[in-house]
């Protein structure tokens, strides 16, 4: 009787008694995502109204902060785990190990929970406490380590590789040099952007950590547009990539440092290598911080520093391309995972950045 009632409920019949049966609403297969992995991607594209009006362009931000793990890195995490499964290296009950500024680790921790893997995360101890706490809550074995350059054997990436090599059924996903990271964006983020703009996308710009996002999206957009969509790199202080792109690959110079987390790079990763780029935009921290507060006050968007740096770069790219163009970027994550820093007056003052917040937005510096 229960089975008959349930199947009648499924067909939407109202006359059958459903006493003792949990009514099941009709399922719209297109609207249902298959578990957490199925909920990654297909993010909306948000028009940044005040910036679009100011530039006479359409400035569009892809809302990657709406992924289930809260950042663009969920896409890479899923592709890295799937590739490890498909290669046979990652077996049921195994351990995923990664070196990360935090967001890839958060994405991996979610995917590992959904698929029954353990997760070990090495990260530089310069990253925000919020990301470390979140990783712990998600059940990851988090190991903050001193921030030393890639050339140092104690760098967090090398430690992750060593852990995987010395433990049974443990796999290092190697996000910096494993091109399955880039593939996530070539196969999902890039094609989504092209479809969402109806193939009318004049420019794309974003900053780079591993290079997966920029390189994958560049490949997808260049292929879809026949090369006509312009793709620019955005870069914070302390990174070599601006000099590398603007010198046509001849120089790798850097100066200063940045409060942005997860972006800026000192080498050409395998993900970034052989990427077609049409230009580069350098964004100082003053402009990034001002944009954090402008987007909150004017657009209602609460975004992390890399997203805000990307928006500054999209604004500059729109001005370079001229009015009437469509320019897009990625809004990588939300500000909640940096709020103890970005919204703290003493932290901003310590970095010499409080004055960068527009006077009319300073009431938003909450702590
Ligand atoms: N923004 C944030 C907040 C990140 O955590 C990262 C990844 N470290 C990036 C941007 C850069 O993305 P990608 O690694 O694909 O270059």
Pocket test of ligand 1: the residue of 41, 70, 71, 73 to mutate, having most ligand atoms within 8 Å of its CB, is 73
3-state secondary structure of 186: helix
Q: What is the mean pLDDT of the chain?
A: 94
- Mean pLDDT throughout 138-159? 96
Q: Each residue of 94-129: pLDDT tens digit?
A: 999 999 999 999 999 999 999 999 999 999 999 999
Atom of ligand 1 nearest to the CA of 307: 1
Angle between helices 73-86 and 103-115 (to 10 degrees): 50
Q: Each residue of 240-271: pLDDT tens digit?
A: 999 999 999 999 999 999 999 999 999 999 99
Q: How confident is residue 29, by pLDDT bands cut at 50, 70 and 90? A: confident
Atom of ligand 1 nearest to the CA of 304: 3
Pair of tokens at residue 67:
């992924």
- Mean pLDDT throughout 145-157? 96
Pair of tokens at residue 187:
């196969």
For residue 144, list its beta bridge partners: 123
Question: Rounded to an integer, what is the distance from CA 8 to the centroid of its chain?
Answer: 44
3-state secondary structure of 223: helix
How far apart are the CA of 73 and the centre of ligand 1, in A? 7
Check if the beta carbon of residue 342 is closer than 8 Å to that of residue 316: no
Q: What is the pLDDT of residue 170?
A: 98
89 catalytic residue (yes or no): no
**In the predicted model, is pLDDT for residue 8 greater than 90?**
no
Pair of tokens at residue 168:
């049974």
For the chain, percent of residues with pLDDT exceeding 70: 94
Pair of tokens at residue 7:
């199947």
- Mean pLDDT throughout 144-157? 96
Q: What is the pLDDT of residue 16?
A: 43
Q: How confident is residue 342, by pLDDT bands cut at 50, 70 and 90? A: very high
- Mean pLDDT throughout 130-140? 97
Pairing type for strands 230-235 and 279-282 reads parallel
**In the predicted model, is pLDDT for residue 58 greater than 60?**
yes
């Amino acid at each position: 009787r229960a089975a008959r009632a349930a199947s009648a409920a499924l067909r939407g019949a109202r006359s059958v008694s459903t006493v003792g049966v949990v009514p099941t609403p009709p399922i719209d297969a297109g609207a249902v995502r298959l578990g957490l992995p199925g909920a990654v991607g297909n993010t909306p594209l948000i028009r940044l109204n005040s910036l679009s009006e100011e530039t006479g362009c359409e400035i569009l931000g892809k809302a990657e902060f709406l992924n289930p793990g809260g950042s663009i890195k969920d896409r890479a995490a899923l592709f890295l785990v799937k590739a490890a499964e498909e290669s046979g290296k990652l077996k049921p009950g195994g351990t995923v190990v990664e070196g990360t500024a935090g967001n890839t680790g958060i994405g991996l921790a979610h995917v590992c929970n959904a698929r029954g893997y353990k997760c070990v995360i090495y990260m530089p101890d310069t990253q925000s406490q919020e990301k470390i706490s979140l990783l712990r809550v998600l059940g990851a074995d988090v190991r903050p380590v001193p921030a030393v350059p890639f050339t140092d054997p104690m760098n967090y990436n090398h430690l992750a590789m060593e852990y995987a090599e010395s433990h049974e059924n443990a796999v290092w996903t190697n996000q910096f040099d494993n091109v399955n990271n880039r593939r996530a964006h070539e196969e999902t983020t890039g094609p989504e952007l092209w479809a969402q703009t109806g193939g009318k996308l004049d420019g794309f710009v974003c900053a780079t950590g591993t290079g997966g996002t920029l390189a994958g999206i560049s490949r997808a957009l260049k292929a879809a547009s026949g090369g006509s969509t312009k793709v620019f790199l955005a870069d914070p202080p302390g990174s070599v990539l601006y000099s590398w792109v603007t010198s046509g690959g001849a120089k790798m110079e850097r100066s200063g440092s940045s409060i942005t987390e997860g972006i800026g790079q000192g080498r050409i990763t395998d993900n970034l290598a052989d990427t077609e780029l049409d230009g580069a935009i350098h964004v100082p921290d003053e402009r990034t911080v001002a944009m954090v507060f402008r987007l909150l006050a004017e657009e209602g968007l609460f975004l992390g520093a890399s997203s805000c740096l990307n928006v500054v770069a999209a604004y500059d790219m729109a001005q370079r391309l001229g009015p009437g163009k469509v320019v897009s970027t990625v809004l990588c994550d939300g500000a909640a995972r940096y709020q103890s820093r970005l919204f703290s007056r003493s932290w901003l003052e310590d970095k010499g950045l409080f004055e960068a917040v527009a006077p009319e937005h300073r009431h938003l510096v909450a702590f």
